[in-house]
Amino acid sequence: MAGPIRVVIVDDHEVVRGGLRLFLDLQEGLEVVGEAEDGAAAARLAGAEEPDVVVMDLSMPNVDGIEATRLVQRACPGTNVLVLSSFVDERVIPALRAGADGYLTKDSSADEVAEAIRAVHRGDPVYCREAVRVVTRELVRTGSRPTGAVTVAFTDIEGSTDVLERLGEEAAWALFREHDELVRAIVERHSGFEVEKEGDAFMLAFGGARPAVECAREIQRAFADHPLALRMGLNTGDVVAENDRYFGRTVYLAARVSGQARGGEILVSDVTRTLAGDLQGVRFVDRGEHELRGLAGRHRLWEVRWQT
């Protein structure tokens, strides 16, 4: 008769580890053989105990859950890793690439977590619905990347650090998740491409200037009465593509244009304004010539008055 599934719990919050251990120890066929407070400790513990399953948090100091998953797989290749995170965000794909076998959120029921541990131990991947959406979106976006002349857009939240300090981590992250979902839904409607996301900032790409400007306008309208204020910058030109990322002067200029915007504003380069032409419900206002850090010469910028 096979012995119990040996489990290690990795989380930087002692209360979370204690609560999870208390429940799992009561489950038939499961045995918690250790706890770790960060990724480095998790790798050491996995090497020593050789557990069947590691339940892994992602947000931890020093060594985070993604790097810890790599370290655990290296120390004990036969161990399965089940991510148990507070949020579903852009870290899903890196976690899976690092070797995670499942992804659940901490609002999952205790029974769901226990069954997921059994499933990944059997070799059956387990993903919550939100994680499946992220993976599906990644598959779609890597197959639909625009080529040739691309309009690149940067968007980020003005004063996101102040929002975090003012509202507290839990309330702020709820707003940030809402922001991510809104932006992604609108970008999808306009056939845009999420190139990458870092923190609260998106880098987006479109096959033309017109859909890019229309998408930017709809995003700002969606946040008109929202507690978060977004700033956006767009530029159009040829890009250097490598795998699913873009590089080059076009991208660099778009980032610099975005840096000139304030919350609630959309700024576009002269090229993007020319290619966009006349759009119903959009008025372009000449913001004059600007020096952009790291770029030679002066660059004319236009504000998209999306409120009209």
Task: For residue range 29-55, list pLDDT tens digits in order.
Answer: 999 999 999 999 999 999 999 999 999
Q: Strands 149-157 and 201-206: what pairing?
A: antiparallel
How far apart (Å, rounded) are the C-alpha atoms in residues 259 and 236?
A: 16
Give, in order, the Cα–Cα distances in Å from 204 to each of 4, 144, 188, 198, 251: 47, 13, 11, 12, 10
> Tens of pLDDT along 80-104?
999 999 878 778 888 888 999 999 9
Q: Is the dihedral of CA 240, 242, 246, 252 positive or negative?
A: negative
pLDDT value, residue 119 = 95
Rounded to the nearest 5 degrees, what angle is found at the Cα of 121, between the Cα atoms of 117 and 126?
Answer: 55
How far apart (Å, rounded) are the C-alpha atoms in residues 81 and 154?
A: 34
Query: Does the pLDDT of residue 283 top 60, yes or no?
Result: yes
Helices and strands, counts by H and E, the chain:
11, 15
How far apart (Å, rounded) are the C-alpha atoms in residues 163 and 227?
A: 9
- Give, rounded to a whole angstrom, the gap between the first and last alpha carbons of the chain: 72
Query: Does the pLDDT of residue 243 top 70, yes or no?
Result: no
Q: Which two tokens stand for residue 85?
A: 């995170």
Query: Does the pLDDT of residue 1 top 70, yes or no?
Result: no
> Tens of pLDDT along 70-86?
999 998 988 999 999 98
Q: What is the mean pLDDT of residues 143-157?
A: 82
Q: Strands 80-85 and 193-198: what pairing?
A: unpaired
Q: What's the CATH code, domain 5-135?
A: 3.40.50.2300
Q: What is the mean pLDDT of residues 176-185?
A: 90
Residue with tokens 């513990």: 45
| 16-20, 60-64, 208-212, 227-231, range with the lowest pLDDT | 60-64
Give, in order, the Cα–Cα distances in Å from 306 to each of 187, 223, 236, 256: 16, 12, 19, 21
Q: Where in the chain is the domain with CATH 3.30.70.1230?
A: 144-305
Residue 297 φ then ψ, to 5°: 80, -170
Q: Structurally, what CATH architecture does the domain formed by 144-305 represent?
A: 2-Layer Sandwich (3.30)
Q: Which residues contact 302 (CB under 8 A, 6 or more apart)?
A: 267, 268, 269, 270, 272, 273, 284, 285, 286, 287
> What's the pLDDT band for 308 if we cut at 50, 70, 90?
low
Element (H, E) at 245: strand 245-247
How far apart (Å, rounded) are the C-alpha atoms in residues 17 and 25?
A: 12
Give, in order, the Cα–Cα distances in Å from 63 to each of 29, 69, 71, 197: 30, 10, 10, 21
Q: What is the mean pLDDT of residues 257-271?
A: 95
Residue with tokens 């096959």: 207
> What's the pLDDT band for 244 if we cut at 50, 70, 90?
low
Q: What is the mean pLDDT of residues 147-169?
A: 88
Q: Where in the chain is the domain with CATH 3.40.50.2300?
A: 5-135
Q: What is the mean pLDDT of residues 264-292?
A: 92
How far apart (Å, rounded) are the C-alpha atoms in residues 113 and 32?
A: 13
How far apart (Å, rounded) are the C-alpha atoms in residues 233 and 249?
A: 14
Tell me which range, 86-95, 117-126, 157-166, is most confidently predicted by mean pLDDT.
117-126
Query: Does the pLDDT of residue 166 top 70, yes or no?
Result: yes
Of all residues in the chain, what percent are helix, strand and coil, respectively (each to 5)?
40, 30, 30
- The mean of the pLDDT values for the chain is 89
| 168-177, 210-219, 270-279, range with the lowest pLDDT | 168-177
